[in-house]
Structure 1
Amino acid sequence: MSAELGTPLVKQREKLFELCHPVRDGTLSGDDFDELVQDIRSSMRATLQEPHKYEITTRRKTPLAKTVRTCRQ
């Protein structure tokens, strides 16, 4: 479960940072960056919402429980 959530988040993070370089060197405007980032944000939000369907108590100490709590934060 952790990898199922983490892998898409890492890929989205990579896309986000790939967009940062053109902004820094001036080949991509801030407005264009904001527009392109909207899809990345939506995808990340959707992935982070997936664990909310799991009923994990604060006392549970498993990798899945840790992942769920991290996503909820």
Structure 2
Amino acid sequence: MSSHDSSIRSLWAAVIVLGALIAAMLSTAALWTVGAPAYTSLGAGGATFIGVATLGFTLRKFLTE
């Protein structure tokens, strides 16, 4: 099976986005628990999501090519 199959790519995309979403939620919850303001907690969660998703897609591309 080719690594360029669209079903495999969409499966990897779903796994990476789900992992980034979980990391973002954990980051938001950690900051909220220690008493950070809501805008700080949500901003850190968004930044974590962008960072983890970008890293995941880049690593997948690096490892498959």
Q: TM-score, normalised by structure 2?
A: 0.43
Greater Rg, structure 1 or structure 2? 1
What's the TM-score once normalised by structure 1's chain length? 0.40
Of Structure 1 and Structure 2, the greater helix share is in 2
